[in-house]
Amino acid sequence: MSLVLSPIIPLMQTQRMHGKRVLVTGSGTGLGREIALEFAREGADVVLHDVHYPADSAKKEIEDLGRKVAVFQADLSNLEQTYELADKALEVFGGLDCLVNNAGICLNRPFLENTPAEFEKIYSVNVRAQFLLMQKFASHIVAHQGEGTVCNIASIHGLSGAPEHAIYAGTKGAIISQTRAIGIEMAHKGVRVNAIAPGWVTVESYYKALPGFNEEDAKKAAADKVPLGRSGHKHEIGKLAVFLCSEDSGYVVGQTIVADGGTTSLMSLISDFRTRSTAQFGKDYL
């Protein structure tokens, strides 16, 4: 009997978001850009937003996929511009089905040097803007007796402590709590709210913020520090965001999914998780 091998058929894009309309904040670059592109690959029409970047390259890629795309700039620390973004995003495609609250500011500075201005700026973008955009989005869904999903981007900084990140960590913890509280309040009204807490995912800002940052050294550091042995990829977070906004996660409400390669699961007291321990606890009892 001869063995007949079936031809290899490439996996087709699932198009789980076909016909959906999504706003992704902070999508001119980095993680937000990849999330927006993943929604487009899955069939969604996309509203791009950023404060500095015009998102032209992402716009072209989405158009090349045959999807509708609109681009708006707004400073989310500005209350008026935040509301204006919400109104424009809801109008441009005749409504929204999904909201991805990705925009955020990261600042590292010693706690004793933090200023009220820094506190207000970062909380206004990372927490207040997310809250208000969710409120406008949910109001639209309820008014039209529809269904919608929200994916908030938090961080493992909301779960674990790091020096010089007191303000930033506070905002990410607030996002996790908001996600839980708003999620349970809005679920029966047709709006599912969940969040992602990414760990180390290399984005463009790393090269600006970290002197001498390079991919080779980053790979070595991740292999040593992250249980999975590597840092995360932007597309992994993008696919997770699509999952949380799709029917595949239809029974998931108010949750924050941690995507960090095991970073927060690792006890910090363990010096090297890759080698067998030389300790012998319990030897006198068993």
Chain-centroid distance of CA 105 in Å reads 13
Measured CA to CA, the distance from residue 155 to residue 256 in angstroms comes to 9
Measured CA to CA, the distance from residue 3 to residue 46 in angstroms comes to 47
Backbone angles phi and psi of 99, in degrees to 5: -130, 125
Query: Which one is catalytic: 168, 207, 251, 285?
Result: 168
42 touches 69 (CB < 8 A): no
Tell me the β-bridge partners of 201: 232
Q: Does residue 206 have an active-site annotation? A: no
Measured CA to CA, the distance from residue 201 to residue 212 in angstroms comes to 17
181 touches 130 (CB < 8 A): no
In the chain, the largest separation of any two C-alpha atoms, in whole Å, equals 78
Which residue from 94, 84, 32 is spatially nearest to 57, judged by alpha carbons? 32
Which residue from 174, 163, 153 is spatially nearest to 245, judged by alpha carbons? 153
Residues annotated catalytic, as ranges: 168
